[in-house]
Amino acid sequence: MSEFVYPPVIKTALGVFKALNIKIRLEGTDRIPADGGAVLVSNHVSYLDFIFAGLSAHPAGRLVRFMAKKEIFDNRIGGPLMRGMHHIPVDRDAGASSYAAALKALKGGEIVGVFAEATISRSFTIKDIKNGAVRMAVASKTPLIPIAIWGPQRLWTKGRKRRLLQRNVPVTILVGEPLYPKRGDDYDQVTRDLRAQMEELLEKAQREYTDIPKPGETWWQPSYLGGTAPTPEEAEKLDLEEAEARKAARDAAHDGKGTEG
């Protein structure tokens, strides 16, 4: 597979991080296999997570193929980059094809990155996750590797203004112990075990984070640590309201097309 796009993108990102003095803490990267397929499962706190999650595999000399929503691939700027890096588009109306593409990549020895929460967590805690990542790992006979990311939400997250040029923001990336699910296992139980590991990693990253929010900046800290981010219950309500608003907009657009002419 040709790699004309991905390496320069990584090099550029690292250069930008250096210029902005983004201090990256990487831990547990020896758990990323040097070869062969693996399912990398990350939490989701920002729109930049695929960049930082991908860095977890960088010390092993690996590239991660992320599953990302189709809309990103439709973007005139992001689309060519995503395709050039051989990421995997996820069309929620045609999920089987995305799953098949991910399995093909895994069986071909690639690392596939998954944000199992599906959307950014407004509470900055781990949302409920489905068992899709576990099923992929079982079907491809590959390990399931949990990771936790903390810090990128300060640069760009849901409901907040982008601050991409903010300097001196620490970013923590922790890689957990791999899980090796197999056919016949209780996939829902393995998913609960995976989520528990991710929660443990994320809490470790949050509690050991070197920065403390300044007055007026507590929005990026979870409520359980005294921050003003929504609680998980409040975040769930906001997500539901957003989903209902999007559905209403889609329905209105569809009805509009249906009455044209």
* Residue 49: inside a domain: yes
Our count of domains for the chain comes to 2
Interatomic CA distance for residues 108 and 128, integer angstroms: 29
203 with 238, same domain: the answer is no
Tokens 């990542």 correspond to what residue?
Answer: 133
Determine the Cα–Cα distance for residues 4 and 120; give it in Å rounded to an integer: 29
Residues 21 and 130 in one domain: yes
Shared domain for 154 and 255, answered yes or no, is: no
In a domain, 1, yes or no: no
Type of residue found at 140: S
3-class SS string, the chain: CCCCCHHHHHHHHHHHHHHCCCCEEEECHHHCCCCCCEEEEECCCCCCHHHHHHHCCHHHCCCEEEEEEHHHHHCCCHHHHHHHCCCEEECCCCHHHHHHHHHHHHHCCCEEEEECCCCCCCCCCCCCCCCHHHHHHHHHCCCEEEEEEECHHHCCCCCCCCCCCCCCCCEEEEECCCECCCCCCCHHHHHHHHHHHHHHHHHHHHHCCCCCCCCCCHHHCCHHHCCCCCCHHHHHHHHHHHHHHHHHHHHHHHHHHHCCC
Whether residues 236 and 194 fall in one domain:
no
Whether residue 236 sits in one domain with residue 210: no
For residue 234, the one-letter residue type is E
The boundaries of the domain holding residue 35 are 6-227
Same domain? For 74 and 198 the reply is yes
Question: Does residue 108 form part of some domain?
Answer: yes
Whether residues 78 and 198 share a domain: the answer is: yes
CATH number for position 166: 3.40.1130.10
Instruction: Establish if 213 belongs to a structural domain.
Output: yes
What is the per-residue pLDDT for 92? 73
What's the start-to-end Cα distance of the chain, in Å?
48
Is position 177 within any domain?
yes
Supply the pLDDT for residue 33: 98
Tokens 């899709």 locate to 132
User: 86 and 173: one domain?
Assistant: yes
Structural tokens at position 216: 């007026």
Is 188 in the same domain as 125? Answer: yes
Is residue 65 domain-shared with residue 147, that is, in the same domain? yes
Q: Please report the sign of the dihedral spanned by the C-alpha atoms of residue 137, residue 140, residue 141, residue 147.
A: negative
Looking at residue 96, its pLDDT comes to 87
HSE-up (13 A, CA, CB side) for residue 33: 18
Q: What is the pLDDT of residue 25?
A: 98
Residues 245 and 127 in one domain: no
- Count of CB atoms within 10 A of residue 98's CB? 19
Phi, psi of 38, deg, nearest 5:
-165, 150
Cα 11 to Cα 55, 61, 88, 141: the distances in Å are 11, 13, 21, 32
pLDDT of residue 260: 56
The answer as to whether 151 is a domain residue is yes
For residues 197 and 165, membership in a common domain is answered with yes
pLDDT tens-place values along the chain, 261 residues long: 789 999 999 999 999 999 999 999 999 999 999 999 999 999 999 999 999 999 999 999 999 999 998 889 999 888 999 999 999 999 877 678 999 999 999 999 999 999 999 899 999 999 999 999 999 999 999 999 999 999 999 999 999 999 999 999 999 999 999 999 999 999 999 999 999 999 999 999 999 999 999 999 999 999 999 999 999 999 999 999 999 998 898 888 878 766 555
